Structure 1
Amino acid sequence: MSDERSYPTGIGTSTTDRIQLLGLDLADEVLGKVSFGELAYWLATKRRPTPGQLRVFEAALVSLADHGYTPTAIAARMTYYSAPESIQGAIASGLLGGGSRFLGVTEDTGQFLAASIAALGDTSGYSEDDWDAVARDVLEKAKSEGRKVPGLGHPVHKQGDPRTPVMFQIAREAEVFGPHLSLFEAIGRVHPEVLGRTLPLNGAGVAGASLADAGLPLGLLRGFALLARTAGLIGHLAEEQQHPVGPAIYAEVDRNATYVPPAP
């Protein structure tokens, strides 16, 4: 047995005087030449994005960066109030809340759409009517199984998420409007007749469809949502440092807590 140990990576490495990243010299070939969005895409896929893919990718990140006082933002602010010496802890606490109700919908939608189109074969010639038929089948199956369709509905934007039509437009302009977005758009058109009520296509869902059509790995879609939300959490913490609300949130809950003794 050989005593040599090897831990391969195609990401990066460094020596005393050089840093290599994705096969390039970081200082000479990457710094000032590659944007952060392009680098994030490149790191995840090991290939450089096309201009259209990069535009859709960065638009999706921007769309997911912040949505106000969500549980993730509140968690980050409260952790900062409790441990102001730990910025990393405050950011981490916000990211840990990215799940099935917030942020995780991005990946759930991408995975749902991908599974739905996996058996369709070549869809390049599909018309709007074809996609509507697929959407009806998908929705009827989900309804019969008692499953929710990820990407449908929003707790605030009940009449329509303002991000959704813009993301559709950007993807079309960038020529990155593929089967995931086509099916998601069709779900938006036909779901009222199948489900008996009208729900908006939410921004997290359209981000998932957009990222999938832009060629990002399905298993990393939640990671991109977290990458985007990190920027939003940094913004919340910057604001918390200047105009803290954490003490008021803590006092509001603590002073209005109702103690209910456990039943005997």
Structure 2
Amino acid sequence: MTDSLAADWWGTAVSRIEPNVVELRGTPVQELIGTIGFGAMIWLLLRGERPSPEQAALLEAALVAGVDHGPHAPSIAVARMAATCGIGLNNAMASAINTLGDSHGGAGQECVLLLDEIRERAAAGEPLPEAADAVTAEWRARGVRYLPGFGHRFHTRDPRRDPLVALVDRAVAAGVVDGAHLRAALAVETALNRGRSTPVPMNIDGATAIIYAELGFPAPLARGLFVLSRSVGILAHAWEETGQGRRNKGPIPPAIRPTYLG
């Protein structure tokens, strides 16, 4: 393979790295250091353009909201267990991040897809309540037991829902986002709670899915952005665990013996 072919093989618009040159999306890194926030930096690398301050603030709010949910979350539990196994901080983080799959970490991506379907039907002229009812019924008919982004096994009302929804409300009023995904999510919440005595409110995955979708991120990036967010909590828990001196920490206390089922 010639040098030219090899260069084209690894061609990228994300960064240019040469002797004494580091450019990120066409901007010298020295112009970014100290002048751009981390959320805006994520946006720049993913999208190739800088967000407005209002867009960056909304993205950062979603990233902040998802950083941690304690050892109840498998990713955090794995981070802490792995950190006691002598594998190093980077390996503990990788082990934890690798648990963020469809069941744990993927609901935001699925929720964006759900909201996209409702938004498209509403944009085609179907009344929003009917669109929400129809799409949720179709998802349930496909065997989806829990609609992604709604309900929580731990919280009767996720404390992260209201502040995130309020921020999107304000962003809609300010013209930062158009609000179509917010309206779709609220329509789903209304549909799910119709006739119920025990509410099924939106959860963190639903609230952040609204933000990522309103900001124009494709559904797969809702999962990727969640992974970035949760990595902060994973790092904090892994680091804390390394300082506590435990070795080979298992998923249950040593005094408990698992029930033998043989």
Q: TM-score, normalised by structure 2?
A: 0.86
1:12 aligns with 2:15: yes
Which residue identity is paired with 2:134?
Answer: D
Identity %: 26
Which residue identity is paired with 2:162?
Answer: P
> Separation in 2 of the partners of 1:196 and 1:239?
41
What is the aligned partner in structure 2 of residue 221 from structure 1? 222
Q: Deviations over 1:168-224 (max 9, x none)?
A: 111122233521121011111221237886312111121112111012222211110
What is the aligned partner in structure 2 of residue 98 from structure 1? 100
SS in 2 for 1:20: strand
Which residue identity is paired with 1:153?
Answer: G
Which residue identity is paired with 1:139?
Answer: T
Deviation at 1:49, TM superposition (A): 1.3
Structure 2 spans left out of the alignment, 5+ residues:
none
Contact 1:116 1:138 in 2 (8 A): yes
Which residue identity is paired with 2:170?
Answer: E
My pick for the range that moved more, 226-235 or 134-143, is: 134-143
What is the aligned partner in structure 1 of residue 191 from structure 2? 190
Q: TM-score, normalised by structure 1?
A: 0.85
Deviation at 1:243, TM superposition (A): 3.0
Q: Which aligned pairs between 1:244-259 and structure 2 lie closer than 5 A? A: 249=250, 252=253, 256-259=257-260
SS in 2 for 1:8: coil
Pair 1:259–1:35, CA change in 2 (3 A): same
SS in 2 for 1:98: coil
Q: Which aligned pairs between 1:32-181 and structure 2 lie closer than 5 A? A: 32-69=34-71, 70-83=73-86, 85-121=87-123, 130-148=127-145, 149-158=147-156, 160-175=157-172, 176=177, 178-181=179-182
Residue-pair matches, total: 253
Which residue identity is paired with 1:121?
Answer: A
Pair 1:229–1:2, CA change in 2 (3 A): closer
Contact 2:136 2:188 in 1 (8 A): yes
Q: Which aligned pairs between 1:197-216 and structure 2 lie closer than 5 A? A: 198-216=199-217
Which residue identity is paired with 2:135?
Answer: V
> Separation in 2 of the partners of 1:249 and 1:194?
43
Pair 1:16–1:179, CA change in 2 (3 A): same
